[in-house]
Copies of this chain bind each other. A is one copy, B any other.
Amino acid sequence: VYNLRSRVIDISTEKRTSLLNLKDAEAFGIRTHDRVRVRAGERSVTTIVQTTKTIVHPGELGVFEDVARQLEIESGAMVAVELQPAPTSLRLIQKKLKGERLTGEEILNITGDVVNRNLSDVEIAAFLLAQQFHGMAIEETVSLTKAMVETGASIDFEKPVYDKHSIGGIPGNKVSLLIVPIIAAAGLLIPKTSSKAITSASGTADTMGVLAPVEFSAGELKKIVLKTHGAIVWGGSLNFAPADDILINVEYPLQIDPESQMLASILAKKLAVGTDYLVIDLPVGKESKVESFEEARGLSNRFIELGEKLGIAVKCGLTYGGQPVGYAVGPALEAREALQALEGKGPSSLVEKSTALAGLLFEIAGKVIRGKGQDFAKEILNNGRALKKMREIIEAQGGNPMIKPEDIPIGQHVAEIYAPADGYITRVSNRAITEIARAAGAPMEKGAGLIFYGKEGHKVTKGEKVLEIYAERESKLEEARTVALKINPITVEGMLLREIPEF
């Protein structure tokens, strides 16, 4: 035990770190990444050591604000520092690194230490890379899913719960704004949690956020859903499977996404709301997350198998992911298009995809016989019950239930992009569309985005408008226009695509 004068450091790392002068560290035989227990009176907390040559002097311990708060100390208080053995979770990560299989208890131990910030980012990276290299047995993935649920909040509705999840990657995918009211209108519970855009132009939570607030606690979500049967809220404030955000931050720079972790993260959030029936939307196509049907089929089987072991009946819908869904991209433009579709004036790609997925849910729920689900969903959409239900949901979430598509403010600065030649649109690039919409300001500037006037297979004449870009600020519009002209989001070709031989 070493007694040091504490020095509170005025930042919160949200990680349990303490800072030791390198000379002291050497004298005490303590190294970077070692754990020390820091004790002040009755209180103590275990922190991970970082060393410094400069600011924290010998005899001092740098205590980050979050640790100081836990210890209830201020700068200058004496603290006792004692080297701790590495936590069990670290030994278990080392075990997985060697390719050994982990038990459920062991996985829960690791997950708990991830959530409690008792593992450093380096150690978490090792856990993820061990999964990436050695894979995980299905039993391990089941344990990981359960552990992610157990270490976070959850809701028990005491009734069957339905849900839909898209693995993402396709711009304009506002289908949840149709599916949720369709399912809820049929009297089934669908507490849809969704994400904000990280790299896309609008996440479901961003799009719904145009119509109503989306940040709720678990208790508030439960109340809303028990009243309206449906909700579309942001998952970020619910504390469901909180390990996920921490893991994603570590995966991100390495661009890894171990399948076991991806499966567990998705299903944990569903399990946290007690989902019994789940439809997963797997968009397949160029520049989508899954590029081939074989890959999609393999992934579907794993989702289904894992669902079975977790008590969730899973059905996967392989959908066309080669170009955006509908004609609008960006939070406000997508919200407007979704409302139009609920009013019966939506583009067919959006309506077909939404009702097909809703139909699958009705079928696995046993509401209709197999093959009749989509018709049932279309009926609810066409007879206005879905729109009525959406208004109830908007109201329950604190939005204006009487909002009309034309009330939604969109960007006032508009640029038009024209077809460069006569011919057919042969390709709309998901990646390029997202890049342009983000350059225009989406998702932070709600009114930014774009609208197509033609998609794949449409015949266009040279000079015809194929795209409109919307922005809230002139400077952003210019940025987006520059990007659009450079990366060419829409390819137009004559019917004769290629001559063979080429000379």
- B33 touching A90, Cβ below 8 Å: no
Residue of B whose beta carbon sits closest to that of A126: B254
How would residues 107 to 126 of chain A score, 1 for a CB under 8 Å from any chain B CB and 0 otherwise?
00000000000001111011
Tell which of B11, B19, B86, B252 touches A55, judged by Cβ atoms closer than 8 Å.
Answer: B11
Whole-angstrom distance between the Cβ of A50 and the nearest chain B Cβ: 7
Known contacts A26-B444, A444-B29; A55 and B10 CB within 8 A of each other: yes
Contacts of A199 in B (CB 8 A): 29
- A29 touching B438, Cβ below 8 Å: yes
CA distance A201 to B490 in the complex (A): 68
Contacts of A126 in B (CB 8 A): 125, 129, 254, 256
What copy number does this chain have within its complex? 2
> With an 8 A cutoff between CB atoms, is A37 at the interface?
no
Contacts of A27 in B (CB 8 A): 444
Whole-angstrom distance between the Cβ of A261 and the nearest chain B Cβ: 15
> With an 8 A cutoff between CB atoms, is A255 at the interface?
yes
| Contacting residues of chain A (18-60) with chain B, CB-CB under 8 angstroms | 19, 26-27, 29, 31-34, 50, 52-56
Whole-angstrom distance between the Cβ of A159 and the nearest chain B Cβ: 35
Contacts of A10 in B (CB 8 A): 9-10, 55
- B52 touching A13, Cβ below 8 Å: yes
Residue of B whose beta carbon sits closest to that of A121: B122
Residue of B whose beta carbon sits closest to that of A130: B129
- B123 touching A254, Cβ below 8 Å: yes
CA distance A254 to B9 in the complex (A): 27
Known contacts A26-B444, A121-B122, A125-B122; A253 and B11 CB within 8 A of each other: no
Known contacts A29-B444, A122-B250; A12 and B54 CB within 8 A of each other: yes
CA distance A198 to B129 in the complex (A): 27
- B52 touching A12, Cβ below 8 Å: yes
> With an 8 A cutoff between CB atoms, is A62 at the interface?
yes
Whole-angstrom distance between the Cβ of A468 and the nearest chain B Cβ: 22
> With an 8 A cutoff between CB atoms, is A65 at the interface?
yes
Known contacts A86-B253, A97-B256, A129-B129; A55 and B12 CB within 8 A of each other: yes
Whole-angstrom distance between the Cβ of A122 and the nearest chain B Cβ: 5
- A55 touching B62, Cβ below 8 Å: no
CA distance A122 to B31 in the complex (A): 17
- B94 touching A50, Cβ below 8 Å: no
> With an 8 A cutoff between CB atoms, is A293 at the interface?
no
CA distance A125 to B129 in the complex (A): 10
Contacts of A86 in B (CB 8 A): 253
Q: Is the interface of A mostly helix, strand, loop or mixed?
A: mixed
Contacts of A250 in B (CB 8 A): 122
CA distance A33 to B124 in the complex (A): 14
> With an 8 A cutoff between CB atoms, is A249 at the interface?
yes
Contacts of A129 in B (CB 8 A): 97, 125-126, 129, 133
> With an 8 A cutoff between CB atoms, is A196 at the interface?
yes
- A252 touching B33, Cβ below 8 Å: yes
- B11 touching A120, Cβ below 8 Å: no
Contacts of A444 in B (CB 8 A): 26-27, 29
Whole-angstrom distance between the Cβ of A56 and the nearest chain B Cβ: 7
- A55 touching B65, Cβ below 8 Å: yes
Contacts of A407 in B (CB 8 A): none
CA distance A52 to B249 in the complex (A): 13
- A123 touching B253, Cβ below 8 Å: yes
CA distance A13 to B34 in the complex (A): 16
Tell which of B14, B97, B132, B255 touches A254, judged by Cβ atoms closer than 8 Å.
Answer: B97
Whole-angstrom distance between the Cβ of A485 and the nearest chain B Cβ: 21
How would residues 388 to 410 of chain A score, 1 for a CB under 8 Å from any chain B CB and 0 otherwise?
00000000000000000000000
Contacts of A26 in B (CB 8 A): 196, 444
CA distance A199 to B30 in the complex (A): 9
CA distance A14 to B19 in the complex (A): 12
Contacts of A132 in B (CB 8 A): 97
Whole-angstrom distance between the Cβ of A169 and the nearest chain B Cβ: 17
CA distance A31 to B34 in the complex (A): 27
- A19 touching B29, Cβ below 8 Å: no
CA distance A434 to B62 in the complex (A): 30
Given contacts A10-B10, A33-B253, A122-B253, 6 further A-B contacts (CB under 8 A): A12-B53, A31-B249, A33-B252, A55-B65, A90-B253, A122-B250
Listed A/B pairs (23) with beta-carbon separation below 8 Å:
A9-B9, A9-B11, A11-B19, A11-B56, A12-B52, A29-B199, A29-B438, A29-B444, A31-B249, A32-B249, A86-B253, A90-B253, A94-B254, A94-B255, A120-B121, A120-B253, A121-B121, A121-B122, A122-B254, A125-B125, A126-B129, A126-B254, A129-B133
